[in-house]
């Protein structure tokens, strides 16, 4: 399922190859277009735009063809999600394979340029060279954006400032350019809109000049906007411009930046899909009180320390005056602990402190107001029950009642600040620009059916490394075996692993207590927060339960079972980015050798206090002698031993669930279920590693039962 580019002149181009069933193969180039190429370039993080190319098969040697007729819309996260046909050994018209070039723009011819008449090398009258002679530039429309381009073209860096009216003296020779209108992002004056050469209505009294002030650490600028008052915020440090990450960024920070840049007022710009920066990310977790005169006075992490990517760069718009923009939107709000900046727990800044909102009465209408106030225009969804984790600090607000049309959340607060009957487990959250699940045609089912163990959403791995909470959709094969109850919702009984659309792998001991009558159970796929229903979540009935014939309730050996879901052949669970099968190991495969990176997942101890959001924990595999010494004869060759034996890092399947997966990543990005959580003495007790049923010993049995 992973993708690579082969045979290009640089890493940004080449024939597209896809990894399936352990072999790299190509895609037939019929109907391959720029949309498809763009998805590949983005998936590989090689640029925002792709150009489709076609390479003759004859030059590629013997290599399988996997897909043809690929049709991407252009916004998919992965080429796997595009509609396409599985290659039937037909002919590929033109015998061409799909290839791409991922682009960043190429530099044009540069006009020579120099500064004259200044007191130092950083300033002077601008003179350009054209058709064999040097001449000047007229100052009509000449501004700081033009100056910035001149400074950049001369390699002077610094902050460009424009000077008109022959400030550095009148030049001689022709006036070569007029009406220069750079946006400030160009690499040379050549790229700016301007008059034709020698077309002007000026004299040398209007010769344009610039000064390029040398920079000091902490200098700020806004780039890639419509002018120097808006765009991506960049800060200068050790000779290089870099960006600022938006984690924890608030309107108070924006005010400080705009004031430092000489404006009176500003606001965060909603996301725009302009080109990302490629420079360093210098600052993160910046928090200003609003009184500072300089961004560096605010609290922040040290230079260069962050956990961000350029999608999270701060973008601002500053305004010179307050007139039209000064509509106060009440106290600042922010979103915390989401997987991206468009979602999270809602926090509001009142009486000098950030606090949370209680979810009593919290609805999509309230979410719509929050999202609009933050500048997002798409559909908004409310999330309750500390879906994004519990906040710290006070609970400022309860019983918010918006109609959905208010300008700001402040207009919906009807009762006194600080009055509530809530705990942080009821903290309210929102998801802005919520993209609802696209129900796709069947073409996609086939391409997803042929792959396993893919985490289509793993690019967002940001905030959870070392954390316990997993990402939504991060472990798409995790399913829950639930006990159906006569009254209401039932409860979580065991974890389990999806291995195909209709088959789920779990532990035999899960059925010890309530028997193997299929009517007692249901399987939930696509779940994340056990109490909040989500769109990918589906509860499916059970058609058949197969325990291993050698399992005995009084021992822990052969602790493995298969559950067949209700539905037609291989069309039980609907695959999506959040619902996909894990791979099975090869028979006798040894994960220590092939896949060192292992995790267990689950909703934790399924006693009274299990966690509401899916948990994950990295877990080391241990040599079998550790378990043999500890558990003596109970530990057999059909088991795996895993867990942290050091006291301080107690991870074992208390955080996973009985019956849930222990999975490891094979090189080449597929995740394989090597173990089924089976037993161990107590939860995270020192020297008591967890014991897992060794799936590789049971592969022949699994295949004979499931016919997979």
Tell me, yes or no, whether 553 and 525 share the same domain.
yes
Using the CB atoms, write b or e for 112-141: b if 16+ within 10 Å: ebebbbbeeebbbbbbbeeeeebbbbbbbb
Q: What is the pLDDT of residue 468?
A: 60
Q: What is the DSSP string of 377-394?
A: -S--EEE-TTTT----S-
Q: What is the pLDDT of residue 457?
A: 56
Backbone angles phi, psi at 576, to 5 degrees: -160, -175
10 Å Cβ neighbour count for 91?
Answer: 9
Closest CA to 499 of 337, 698, 681, 361: 698
Q: Is the pTM of this model over 0.85?
A: no
Query: How far is residue 89 CA from its own chain's centroid?
Result: 37
Backbone angles phi, psi at 318, to 5 degrees: -105, 150
pLDDT tens sequence across 189-245 = 877 778 877 888 888 888 888 887 666 778 888 877 766 677 889 988 887 889 998
Task: Cite the active site residues.
Answer: 509, 559, 658
Tell me, yes or no, whether 162 and 192 share the same domain.
yes
Q: What is the pLDDT of residue 459?
A: 43
Q: What is the pLDDT of residue 565?
A: 95
Tell me, yes or no, whether 71 and 141 share the same domain.
no
Residue 340 inside a domain? The answer is yes
Number of domains in the chain: 6
- Choose one of 168, 191, 213: the last residue of a domain: 213
Tell me, yes or no, whether 15 and 38 share the same domain.
yes
Q: What is the pLDDT of residue 139?
A: 85
By residue range, what is the domain housing residue 225?
A: 219-319
- Could you tell me the two tokens for 529? 């927060």
- CATH number of the domain within which 393 lies: 3.10.250.10
The Cα 476–Cα 582 span in angstroms is 8
Q: What is the pLDDT of residue 324?
A: 39
Residue 94 inside a domain? The answer is yes
Residue 585 inside a domain? The answer is no
Q: Round the CA-based radius of gyration of the chain to a whole number and report it.
A: 30
The Cα 451–Cα 213 span in angstroms is 57
Three-state secondary-structure class, residue 197: coil
Check: CB of residue 559 under 8 Å from CB of residue 595. no
Closest CA to 141 of 185, 206, 196, 58: 206
The contacts of residue 296 (CB under 8 Å, 6+ apart) are 218
Q: What is the pLDDT of residue 444?
A: 41
Residue 187 inside a domain? The answer is yes
Tell me, yes or no, whether 198 and 241 share the same domain.
no
Residue 270 inside a domain? The answer is yes
Closest CA to 694 of 625, 620, 619, 641: 641
Q: What is the pLDDT of residue 496?
A: 94
The contacts of residue 654 (CB under 8 Å, 6+ apart) are 604, 605, 683, 684
Check: CB of residue 679 under 8 Å from CB of residue 559. yes
Tell me, yes or no, whether 207 and 225 share the same domain.
no
Beta bridge partners of 20: 23
Residue 76 to residues 43, 194, 457, 694, Cα–Cα distance (Å): 9, 39, 11, 36
Using the CB atoms, write b or e for 404-423: b if 16+ within 10 Å: eebebbbebbeeeeeebebe
Low-confidence ranges of the chain (pLDDT < 70): 1, 88-91, 93-94, 104-111, 157-158, 213-215, 226-228, 262, 270-276, 320-329, 436-450, 456-472, 486-489, 592-596, 604-611, 644-656, 668-669, 680-688
The Cα 22–Cα 451 span in angstroms is 10
The Cα 22–Cα 1 span in angstroms is 9
Beta bridge partners of 544: 564
Tell me, yes or no, whether 167 and 232 share the same domain.
no
Tell me, yes or no, whether 209 and 224 share the same domain.
no
The Cα 578–Cα 704 span in angstroms is 28
- Choose one of 166, 195, 213: the last residue of a domain: 213
Residue 404 to residues 134, 374, 384, Cα–Cα distance (Å): 62, 14, 17
The Cα 484–Cα 541 span in angstroms is 10
- CATH number of the domain within which 649 lies: 2.40.10.10
Residue 457 inside a domain? The answer is no
Tell me, yes or no, whether 239 and 196 share the same domain.
no
Check: CB of residue 305 under 8 Å from CB of residue 282. no
The Cα 176–Cα 136 span in angstroms is 6
The Cα 561–Cα 547 span in angstroms is 4
The contacts of residue 387 (CB under 8 Å, 6+ apart) are 345, 429, 529, 532, 613
Check: CB of residue 170 under 8 Å from CB of residue 206. no
The Cα 681–Cα 607 span in angstroms is 16
Tell me, yes or no, whether 125 and 177 share the same domain.
yes
Check: CB of residue 680 under 8 Å from CB of residue 652. yes
Residue 460 inside a domain? The answer is no
- Choose one of 319, 350, 373: the last residue of a domain: 319
10 Å Cβ neighbour count for 16?
Answer: 28
The Cα 395–Cα 388 span in angstroms is 15
Q: What is the DSSP letter of 626?
A: H
């Amino acid at each position: 399922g992973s993708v690579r580019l082969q045979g290009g002149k640089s890493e940004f181009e080449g024939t597209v190859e896809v990894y399936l069933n352990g072999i790299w193969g190509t895609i037939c180039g019929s109907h391959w277009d720029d949309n498809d190429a763009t998805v590949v370039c983005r998936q590989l993080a090689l640029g925002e735009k792709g150009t489709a190319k076609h390479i003759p098969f004859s030059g590629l040697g013997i290599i399988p063809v996997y897909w043809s007729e690929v049709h991407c819309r252009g916004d998919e996260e992965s080429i796997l999600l595009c509609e396409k046909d599985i290659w039937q050994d037909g002919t590929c018209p033109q015998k061409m394979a799909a290839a791409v070039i991922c682009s960043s723009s190429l530099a044009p011819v540069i006009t020579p340029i120099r500064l004259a008449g200044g007191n130092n090398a950083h300033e002077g009258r601008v003179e350009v060279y054209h058709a064999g002679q040097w001449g000047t530039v007229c100052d009509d429309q000449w501004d700081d954006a033009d100056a910035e381009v001149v400074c950049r073209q001369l390699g002077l860096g610094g902050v460009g400032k424009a000077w008109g009216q022959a400030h550095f003296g009148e030049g001689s020779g022709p006036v070569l350019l007029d009406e220069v209108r750079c946006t400030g992002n160009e690499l040379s004056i050549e790229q700016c809109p301007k008059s034709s050469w020698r077309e002007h209505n000026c004299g040398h009294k209007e010769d344009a000049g610039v000064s390029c002030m040398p920079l000091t650490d902490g200098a700020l600028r806004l780039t890639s906007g419509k002018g120097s008052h808006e765009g991506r915020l960049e800060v200068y440090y050790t000779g290089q411009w870099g960006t600022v990450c938006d984690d924890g960024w608030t309107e108070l920070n924006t005010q400080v930046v705009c004031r430092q840049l000489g404006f009176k007022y500003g606001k965060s710009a909603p996301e725009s899909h302009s080109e990302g920066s490629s420079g360093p990310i210098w600052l993160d977790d910046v928090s200003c009180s609003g009184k500072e005169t300089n961004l560096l006075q605010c609290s922040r992490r040290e230079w260069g320390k962050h956990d961000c990517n350029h999608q999270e760069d701060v973008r601002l718009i500053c305004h010179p005056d307050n007139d039209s923009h000064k509509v106060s939107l009440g106290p600042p709000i922010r979103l915390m602990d989401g997987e991206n900046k468009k979602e999270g727990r809602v926090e509001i800044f009142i009486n000098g402190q950030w606090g949370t909102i209680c979810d009593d009465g919290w609805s999509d209408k309230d979410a719509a107001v929050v999202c609009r106030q933050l500048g997002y225009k798409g559909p908004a969804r409310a999330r309750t029950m500390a879906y994004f984790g519990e906040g710290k600090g006070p609970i400022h607000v309860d019983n918010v009642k918006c109609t959905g049309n208010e300008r700001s959340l402040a207009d919906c607060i009807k009762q006194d600040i600080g009055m509530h009957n809530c705990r942080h487990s009821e903290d309210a959250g929102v998801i802005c620009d919520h993209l609802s699940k696209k129900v796709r045609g069947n073409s996609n089912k086939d391409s997803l059916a042929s792959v396993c163990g893919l985490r289509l959403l793993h690019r967002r791995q940001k905030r959870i490394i070392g954390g316990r909470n997993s990402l939504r959709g991060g472990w798409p094969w995790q399913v829950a075996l639930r006990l159906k109850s006569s009254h209401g919702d039932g409860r979580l009984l065991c974890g389990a692993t999806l291995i195909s659309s209709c088959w789920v792998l779990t532990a035999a001991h899960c059925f010890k207590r309530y028997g193997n009558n299929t009517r007692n159970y249901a399987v939930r796929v696509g779940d994340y927060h056990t109490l909040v229903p989500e769109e990918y979540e589906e509860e499916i009935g059970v058609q058949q339960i197969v325990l291993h014939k050698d399992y005995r309730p009084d021992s822990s050996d052969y602790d493995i079972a298969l559950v067949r879901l209700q539905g037609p052949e291989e069309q039980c669970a609907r695959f999506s980015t959040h619902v996909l099968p894990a791979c099975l190991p090869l028979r006798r495969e040894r994960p220590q050798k092939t896949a060192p990176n292992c995790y267990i997942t689950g909703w934790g101890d399924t006693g009274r206090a299990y966690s509401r959001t899916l948990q994950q924990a990295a877990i080391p595999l241990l040599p079998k002698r550790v378990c043999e010494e500890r558990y003596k004869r109970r530990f057999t060759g059909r088991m795996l031993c895993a867990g942290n034996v050091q006291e301080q890092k107690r991870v074992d399947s208390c955080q996973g669930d009985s019956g849930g997966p222990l999975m490891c990543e094979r090189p080449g990005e597929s995740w394989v279920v090597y173990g089924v959580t089976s037993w161990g003495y107590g939860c995270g007790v020192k020297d008591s590693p967890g014991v897992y049923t060794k799936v590789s010993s049971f592969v022949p049995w699994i295949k004979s039962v499931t016919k997979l």
